[in-house]
Amino acid sequence: MGKKKKIREDFEAIFKTGNEQAIKEYLEEYPWLLGEVSSEMNETMLEQHQIIAAIGVMEDELGGAVSINEIIRSLKEDLNVRKMEDDIQRILKDAENLRLIEKESNGWVLTSEGGRICDVYLNKNLEDLEL
């Protein structure tokens, strides 16, 4: 078990360098890592898509930027998802870096790509929900 932990730590260090060739070689040597990385990425993307969907729902309702409190409320009431404010802030920062949302003085708004992700998420996961 200790060996896998060391391999994970080494891979994380290599991944942070962004050296695609080294990452590829490491994944070829330890293919089981790919499953772990994919699983973590899927979870991160799901959380991001939930936040984006909450912004989209509230943006439609309010006609403008969405505050953190409105995101929390939409997650809870519309999507049945509970998240801590610190986690939401971290996800918002990541989504902003990916240009899925934009920060305005009074909250966040979706970019066109964020809007597309919102629509796909809502259509796929909330077919029965009337918003």
Give me the domain span that covers residue 15: 1-30
* pLDDT for 127: 63
More confident residue, 85 or 19: 85
Alpha-carbon distance values, 2 to 5, 6, 26 (Å): 5, 6, 18
Question: Are 52 and 113 within one domain?
Answer: yes
Residues 46 and 105 in one domain: yes
| One domain, residues 25 and 46 | no
- pTM for the predicted model, two decimal places: 0.72
**Average pLDDT of the segment spanning 40-52:** 86
Does 38 score more than 80 pLDDT? no
| pLDDT of 110 above 90 | yes
Tally of structural domains, the chain = 2
100 in Cβ contact with 111 (< 8 Å): yes
Residue 17 sits in the same domain as residue 62: no
Phi-psi sector, 63: left (phi>0), alpha (psi -120 to 50), beta: left
Residue 35 lies in a domain: no
